[in-house]
Amino acid sequence: MNDENGHAVASNAGTTLPNGATAACPQCTKPMRRIEGQKSYFCSCTGYADGCRSTLEDKNGKPVPKSSKPAASSQSAGAFL
């Protein structure tokens, strides 16, 4: 977002969904914002300065809960007999 002089300005308005609604943080209900990370976009809470560390994945511009990674299979101690 730019101001009237064309300078970049930080926006805490939150992530706007296609239907015009703003995504709320699932932990503190403050607006989420879309951030470009090193590998992909993600959504982060605007309440970071207040201690909220909530993040959501960004799927096609929409914030979604993080997908859990599959647990590594563990072998029993007697597997190598």
Q: What are the DSSP calls for 2-66, one per residue?
A: B-TTS-B----S-PBPTTS-BPBPTTT-PBEEEEE-SSSEEEEETTGGGT---EEEEETTEEEPP
- HSE-CB at 9 with a 13 A cutoff on CA atoms is 10
Please, are residues 55 and 43 in contact by the beta-carbon 8 Å criterion?
Answer: yes
**Inside any domain, residue 29:** yes
Report residue 53 as tokens: 């560390």
The whole-model pTM stands at: 0.56
Counting the structural domains of the chain, the total is 1
**Inside any domain, residue 16:** yes
- pLDDT for the residue 16: 62
- pLDDT for the residue 9: 47
**Inside any domain, residue 46:** yes
**Inside any domain, residue 78:** no
Residue with the larger pLDDT of the pair 14 and 39: 39
**Inside any domain, residue 79:** no
Domain that holds residue 24: 11-59
Other Cβ atoms within 10 Å of 42 Cβ, number: 17
**Inside any domain, residue 30:** yes
- pLDDT for the residue 10: 47
Residue 72 in this model has a pLDDT that exceeds 70: no
**Inside any domain, residue 2:** no
**Inside any domain, residue 6:** no
pLDDT tens per residue, range 7-17:
544 454 556 65
